[in-house]
A and B are shown apart, each in its own frame.
Chain A
Amino acid sequence: AEFQINETTGSISKIIMNNISLDFNQEFLYYKGFVGNNEVFANRSSGAYIFRPYGKASSIENQNQVKIYLGNLVSEVHQQYNDWISQIIRVYSGETYVEFDWIVGPIPTDDAHGKEIITRYTTPLDSNSLFYTDSNGRETLTRIRNFRPTWNLNLKEPVAGNYYPVTSKISIREKDLEVAVLTDRAQGGSSLEDGQIELMLHRKCLHDDAFGVGEALNETAFDKGLVTRGSHYVVFGTKKNPSGKTIAAQEKDIIQRKLLSSWTFLSPTNGLTYQQYK
Chain B
Amino acid sequence: RVDLNALREAMGVMQHHDAITGTEKEHVAHDYSRILAKGMDECNFITASALSKLVAPEEKLFVNDEPAPVIPFETCPLLNVSQCGFTEKNNGFVVTVYNPLSRPVSKHIRIPIRGDHYVVIDPKGNQLDTEIIPIPESILRIPGRKSNAKNELIFLASNLPPLGFKSYFVEEASENDLPQKPHKNKSRLRE
Residues of A near any B CB (own CB < 8 A): 48-49, 67-74, 76, 78, 80, 86, 88, 92, 103, 106, 203, 211-215, 217, 219-224, 227, 229, 256-257, 260-269, 271, 274, 277-278
B131 touches A86 (CB 8 A): no
Q: Do the beta carbons of A49 and B188 come within 8 Å of each other? A: no
Give Cα distance in the complex from A213 to B90, angstroms.
Answer: 45
When each residue 23-55 of chain B gets 1 if its CB lies under 8 Å from chain A and 0 otherwise, what string results? 111100100000000000000000110010000
Docked complex Cα distance between A274 and B24 (Å)? 50
Cα of A69 to Cα of B134 in the assembled complex, Å: 9
Sample of 20 further A-B pairs with CB below 8 A, known A260-B101, A264-B75? A68-B190, A72-B185, A72-B186, A73-B129, A73-B130, A73-B156, A76-B133, A78-B136, A103-B136, A224-B143, A229-B81, A256-B101, A262-B101, A262-B107, A264-B109, A265-B75, A265-B96, A266-B95, A269-B93, A269-B171
For A72, A213, A265, the residue with the greatest tally of chain B CB atoms inside 10 Å of its CB is: A265
Q: Could you tell me the distance in whole angstroms from the C-beta of A252 to the nearest C-beta in chain B?
A: 11
22 residue pairs of the A-B complex, CB under 8 angstroms, read A67-B136, A68-B191, A70-B189, A72-B129, A73-B129, A73-B187, A88-B136, A103-B136, A221-B143, A260-B100, A264-B75, A264-B97, A265-B73, A265-B97, A265-B98, A266-B84, A266-B86, A266-B95, A268-B72, A268-B90, A269-B92, A269-B171
Give the residues in chain A near B129, CB-CB below 8 Å.
Answer: 72-73
CB-contact partner of B95 in A203, A223, A264, under 8 A: A264
The 7 A-B pairs of least Cβ separation, nearest first, read: A86-B138, A265-B73, A224-B143, A222-B143, A222-B144, A48-B22, A269-B92
Cβ B23 vs Cβ A48 within 8 A: yes
Q: Which residues of A contact B10 (CB under 8 A)?
A: none
CB distance from A44 to the nearest CB of B (A): 15
Measured CB to CB, the closest approach of chain A to B171, in angstroms, equals 8
Complex Cα–Cα for A263 and B165 (A): 9
For B188, list chain A residues within 8 Å (CB).
70-72
- Determine if A227 and B143 form an interchain contact, defined as CB atoms under 8 angstroms apart: yes
B111 partner residues in chain A, CB cutoff 8 A: 264
